[in-house]
Structure 1
Amino acid sequence: MQNSDFNAGVAASPLMPKVERQRLHDTVVEHIRRFIVEGVLEPGKKLNERELCETLGISRTPLREALKVLAAEGLIEISPNRGASVSKMSEAELRETFELMSGLEAFSGELAAERMTAAELAEIKALHYAMLACRTQNDLPGYYSRNQAIHDKINEAARNSALRQMYIAVNRRLQALRFRSNFQIPKWDSAIHDHDEMLKALEARDGKKLSAILRQHLLDKRDAVLQVQSQEAAAGAQLKT
């Protein structure tokens, strides 16, 4: 998305209200993180502080504080001379990070199948059906938020604080890429099939099966992201010729 398209992209999203003063810092961080996840701010894009301040209705001080938080998460790169830009993973880094995430998800599933309460399982079921409703409406942002909530609930149910901390840190760097993995309808539908199987494994308390499903699910997302990036690179090369 080009710089001139930024305000139009933000305005088109119903999920981006003006920032309220209450809990300003956390809200600004969450809004910019969502811009990155949903592709309003694309990898490598240089951030225009004036545009962001106008869009969010804030001054530069809370914006810069938020950018520091996102830089610590690996989502933003801040250069003393060039300002801030959205981080962009190399292909090797992308492959390695998805491989790591597949292991974290797999371990989460194995532990969660053993430790999850009936109430937690019911909550995941509700999210699953809400996610399916979003798919029928082609609501990718709504689908994605519920999809990620399911994965997050599984990780929480593992009840391992060290795993939880690492999961959160790694997943933040991959959220935008996980969102992009559903741009192709067949990949989106394949992900839904995986989630159907995840739910069955959770209900059966089959940790080994859930672990295997989650591991492959993340590796498939890696491959989908690489395919999208390859197609975009090819399209860009054609435009230059």
Structure 2
Amino acid sequence: MTKNEILRDLRQKILNENYEQGESLIERELCEFYEISRTPIREILWRLVLEGIVEQKPARGFFVRKLGWEQIFDIFQTREAVEGMAVRLTCQRGDAQIFEQLKDIKKQLTDLDDTDIDIGGPKWGRTFHDTVLEGSSNSLLKEIYQKVSYMAKMTSNIARHSVSIESLSRDYHVSIIDAILSGDPDKSEHLMREHLRTTCRGIIDTFYPQVFVGQGRNGKSTKGIGKR
């Protein structure tokens, strides 16, 4: 395998949860598995650090990033800025091919039920968000989104354990697609931002119950998280 192939393979293993959040990535074991020396493995690990899904701890080595509520809030706040504009541009551009893709995604989403929402919801949700960014035709937005998308996949791995969060996300995705197809950029952007805030709040409330409204990082209030 080339270095880029190893990078893609290790990244995918992390995003597929073959390595759990917080798990150590032992350089010696990776070298043996991929049959390469320590220098290229270290370069790959530093690349994953830059992508936000691995962290390096001094004197301890490399670990799969373990997301705290503050990191999740930052991820969704960034996504709201990027994807809010992207969905507006996608709606305004009205690309026929993108619209057909969105119609197909809507069908796949509406066919999901509670028995397959944990798998199908994240899968088609990612396809939806990727398609919206592609439809924006803004190369800089897509570049920013690409980095955030790796960390966003880690939040999806958390959210898929809640049927209620995934069901609500599915409903938002369908509503946003309807707004795009109807040619309403204001509604499209509003729903996208609301969707991301609501999902963020749902994840924090469900999986980080120690976070209380009014006690945020650096003394700041968390009341704005997920507020409609």
Instruction: Check whether TM > 0.5.
Output: yes
What SS is found at the alignment partner of 1:197?
Answer: helix
Question: Cα RMSD between the aligned structures?
Answer: 2.7
AA of the residue aligned to 1:155: L
Residue in structure 2 matched with residue 17 of structure 1 by the alignment = none
Which residue is equivalent to 1:111?
89
Give the equivalent residue in structure 1 for 2:219.
none
Number of aligned pairs? 209
Taking structure 2 as the reference length, the TM-score comes to 0.78
Among 13, 31, 56, the residue aligned to 1:78: 56
Q: Distance in 2 between matches of 1:68 and 1:142?
A: 32
Which residue in 2 is equivalent to 1:94?
A: 72
> What's the TM-score, normalizing by structure 1?
0.74
- Mark the runs of 5 or more structure 2 residues left unpaired by the alignment: 212-228
Distance 2:187 2:83 in 1: 12
- Using a 3 Å threshold, how does the CA distance of structure 1 residues 38 and 224 change in structure 2: closer, same or farther? farther
Distance 1:187 1:79, change over 3 A: closer
Distance 2:74 2:166 in 1: 22
Residue 34 (structure 1) shift: 3.1
Q: Which residue number corresponds to residue 59 of structure 1?
A: 35
SS of residue paired to 1:84: strand
Question: Sequence identity of aligned pairs in percent?
Answer: 22
> How far apart are residue 143 of structure 1 and its match?
3.8
Whichever residue aligns with residue 83 of structure 2, its letter is E
Shift of 1:60: 4.2
Residues 1:203 and 2:181 aligned together: yes
8 Å CA contact retained: 2:165, 2:203:
no
CA distance in 2, matches of 1:59, 1:69: 19
In structure 1, the gaps of 5 or more residues are 1-20, 234-241
Change (3 A) 1:31 1:131: farther
- Distance in 1, matches of 2:138 and 2:126, equals 19
**Equivalent AA in structure 1 for residue 134 of structure 2:** E
Q: Which residue of 2 aligns with 1:6?
A: none
Inter-partner Cα distance in structure 2 for 1:218 and 1:31? 29
For the residues of structure 2 that align with 1:162 and 1:142, how far apart are their CA atoms? 29
